[in-house]
Amino acid sequence: MSLSGKTAIVTGAGTGIGKGIALALAARGTKVSVHYNASEAGALDTCKQIEASGGECLLIQADVSKEQDIRRMVDAAAAHWGGIDILVNNAALQLNQDWRDYTEDQFEQVMATNLKGYWQCMQAVIPYMKVSKSGRIILISSIHAKRPTDFDVVYAMTKGGIKMLGRESAIELAQYGITVNTVEPGAVDVGKYRQSHRAPDRRKFPLGRVGLPADVASLVCYLASEESSFMTGTAIRLDGAGMLM
């Protein structure tokens, strides 16, 4: 599945799922803009790994809750690479705050990053994708777009909103050859499971493990490729059947 010569922006690429996606896209020949907000060390490591493998990357800092930062990020990436073929909206906040304890500022911060930020990143890249009459937009949501979290109601609200953002956008952008798809991961090991030294409970994880960033990245690469050219407006659950339990 070659993506040679394509250009991409991956938000939140300094850690976790975003890092895995950036590395996988680069391994398939994509020129990757590695976005971060506060995780500079992680983003530098992502770029270091990409370049060590012979890939190309551009490091960009931006606060995706702010439109001005988003415009700066997208314009810089487009100028550097000569266009934008792929946007992976991944950067998100998860405060794990009880709904009764959420402050108005916290609510607005999570909404501005997880939902408004996705929408405004899309607004910023679409003019560049229209020029080439093609494009791939991939939104990282969560199984909590479908199932309550019981640990963060506002986070779950944003994930549900992302699903509808993907559906509505797929309809409107199809005329320009731009596809929009959503990935809904379940539990993904970004360190906490390894740190616990406990095997996942098969009553919650039928395959005997949680997901890995590489699992999400493989699906993203498919959605970014020409092989998925007739797929748009989908929301794909990626949880090893965990939600069935």
Query: d(Cα 47, Cα 92) in Å, to the nearest integer?
Result: 20
Pairing relation of β-strands 57-61 and 86-89? Answer: unpaired
Cβ within 8 Å of residue 207, ≥6 positions away: 240, 241
Contact 186, 243 (CB under 8 A): yes
Tokens read off for 128: 């560049």
* Residue 193 annotated to the active site: no
Contact 6, 226 (CB under 8 A): no
Catalytic option among 36, 128, 155, 193: 155
Query: d(Cα 195, Cα 209) in Å, to the nearest integer?
Result: 14
**Residue 82, helix vs strand vs coil:** coil
- Looking at residue 84, what DSSP letter applies? -
Find the length of the chain: 245
Instruction: Give the residue numbers annotated as catalytic, written as ranges.
Output: 155
